[in-house]
């Protein structure tokens, strides 16, 4: 099994999946919160409010990390002379492997 952080691109993929999972969790917790409000479960609603806050905080950190990885990818391209792909998907394994080896990313 390949390490999910062998390259910037694989880390971007991982963070994309994590972001999707967080968004799904936010929707689920928000739905549970609505149910708790209807059933007048005050302590449960408070706990779910805290969970929503923490999930949104995590979502913000993941979004920032995605931007940082995108910046690092751009910097790597400048350093190794790669041309950016128009669809933001770099399928050039040779260029990635070459740059990863030289820059430890």
Break the chain into its structural domains and give their ranges.
8-87
Average pLDDT rounded to a whole number, residues 11-39: 97
What is the pTM for the complete model shown? 0.72
**Cα 62 from chain centre:** 5
Lowest mean pLDDT among 25-34, 43-52, 88-97: 88-97
Q: Residue 48 has what pLDDT?
A: 98
Is a pLDDT exceeding 90 seen at residue 22?
Answer: yes
Q: Residue 84 has what pLDDT?
A: 67
Computed over every residue of the chain, the mean pLDDT equals: 85
How is 13-52 classified by DSSP, letter by letter? HHHHHHHHHHHHHHHHHHHHHHHHHHTT-HHHHHHHHHHH
Is a pLDDT exceeding 90 seen at residue 11?
Answer: yes
Residues contacting residue 1 through CB under 8 Å, at least 6 positions apart: none
Average pLDDT rounded to a whole number, residues 35-52: 98
Q: Residue 87 has what pLDDT?
A: 54
d(Cα 51, Cα 85) in Å, to the nearest integer? 38
């Amino acid at each position: 099994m390949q390490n999910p952080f062998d390259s910037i691109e694989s880390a971007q993929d991982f963070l994309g999946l994590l972001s999707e999972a967080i968004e799904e969790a936010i929707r689920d917790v928000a739905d549970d919160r609505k149910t708790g409000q209807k059933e007048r479960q005050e302590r449960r609603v408070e706990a779910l409010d805290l969970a929503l806050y923490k999930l949104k905080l995590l979502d913000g950190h993941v979004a920032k990390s995605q931007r940082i990885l995108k910046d690092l990818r751009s910097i790597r391209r400048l350093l190794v002379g790669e041309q950016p792909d128009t669809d933001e998907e770099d399928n050039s394994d040779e260029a990635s492997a070459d740059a990863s080896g030289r820059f430890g990313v």
